[in-house]
Homo-oligomer: A and B are copies of this chain.
Amino acid sequence: MAMNVIVGQSGGPTAVINSSLAGVFKTAKELGADKVYGMRYGIQGFLEKNIIDMEEKIKTEMDLELLKRTPSAFLGSCRFKLPAISADKAIYEKIFEILKEYEIGAFFYIGGNDSMDTIKQLSDYAEIIKSDIRFIGVPKTIDNDLAMTDHTPGFGSAAKYIVSVTKELIRDSLVYDMKNVTIVEIMGRNAGWLTGAVGLAKCEDCEGVDLIYLPEVTFDIDAFLAKVKALTEKKKAIVVAVSEGIKTADDKYVFEHASHTEFVDSFGHKQVSGTARYLATLVSEELGIKARSIEFSTLQRCASHLATLVDITEAYQVGGSAVKAAFEGNTGMMVLLKRISNDPYICVTDLYDVHKIANVEKKVPLEWITEEGTNVSSELLDYIRPLIQSELPPYMVAGHPRHLVVDMI
């Protein structure tokens, strides 16, 4: 079927979001798409007709391989939420005008639950105006908080980074013969999947972390200090992992106890940071023990140099499956991952109604967190373990990873 398609990337970047882009591009060309357009900076750039012909950027098989290994969103991304159709019809009219101008038959959006809202709204509007343009969502988020899918592409690589680097930090924490506390801050505003992954650091050659605090459980500062104190009486180096989003019983983020500053992003989410720093200061001051904080911050979402082969492959597959679904006539759907078997790990793609996915956050089940709320269960670790297996190393050129770049600025 000859038609043009367009693809965009939205929300926070991951190490493998570009592998999904590669999957969309390659599959669309193979299924006979005429033009494969890319929107720069998601729907926001689309509205300004900031649109490129992907074939001008991906010219060789080597480019495609580099794209899979390039962190951040190749096309650029946005945090832009479409208004309700009833609130602003004009913006939808404008979008469909541009789609018509570019003769687009299918629209793919790679993103998280906020981005799936865009697919939902656009497919709803298409139904209202009887447009036959197909809208398919491609899942992506390091946070793993998308509903219905077994897990999200991007999560496995971030988890692999966290486990690998935490193992290095634990070795470092043991270097001096003195009591010390390291507090590691991990992304995940409301869902503790990434923070929970740190549990995999405990293995044959590593002591693992001592305490793990997920945002699903209310954080008690006094209980935390008591736990740390008790641990330091038994061993010299304590390593604690905290989610950036842990909150105390008064519904305040832990870092808000330190500061009155508050940032809100354009999706209305509070910007959180400084949790580990605040807790390390407390440990130093209240317990008199040397404490340091480490924020993985942006590093954990762009560490393509530690990407998981499973993750890169699945990211590519969900991109390709989205195109296949559209070419088969589907719309208003998201591609998801369905785990057939855990060991051996077998996972396939499937399709699901995006209306049941958009704006829903999937959290870690409470039964996968230990009773005291300071560790995770083996079920959680069994769930994550297959997702961090095997590597797709970067092409190292001149001593550092080579990337594919849309435009040098």
Q: Would you call A20 an interface residue if the criterion is a C-beta within 8 Å of the partner chain's C-beta atoms?
A: no
Interface residues of A, CB < 8 Å — how many?
Answer: 69
CB within 8 Å for A167 and B401 given contacts A41-B176, A305-B306: yes
CA distance A301 to B171 in the complex (A): 11
CB within 8 Å for A171 and B401 given contacts A299-B299, A409-B237: no
Residues on B with C-beta less than 8 A from A182 are 298
Residue-wise interface mask of A (128-163) relative to B, using a CB-CB cutoff of 8 A (1 in contact, 0 not): 000000000000000000000000000000001001
Residues on B with C-beta less than 8 A from A204 are 397
Copies of this protein chain in the complex: 2
CA distance A133 to B232 in the complex (A): 39
Residues on B with C-beta less than 8 A from A76 are 174-177
Q: Is the CB of B401 within 8 A of A390?
A: no
Residue-wise interface mask of A (280-321) relative to B, using a CB-CB cutoff of 8 A (1 in contact, 0 not): 000000000000101101110111111010000000000000
The distance from the CB of A225 to the nearest CB of chain B, in whole angstroms, is 19
Q: Would you call A400 an interface residue if the criterion is a C-beta within 8 Å of the partner chain's C-beta atoms?
A: yes
Q: Is the CB of B294 within 8 A of A400?
A: no
Q: Is the CB of B304 within 8 A of A168?
A: yes
Q: Is the CB of B393 within 8 A of A389?
A: no
- Residues of A27-49 whose CB lies within 8 A of B: 40-41, 44-45
Given contacts A160-B400, A171-B302, A295-B295, 4 further A-B pairs with CB under 8 A are A72-B172, A200-B399, A203-B400, A207-B409
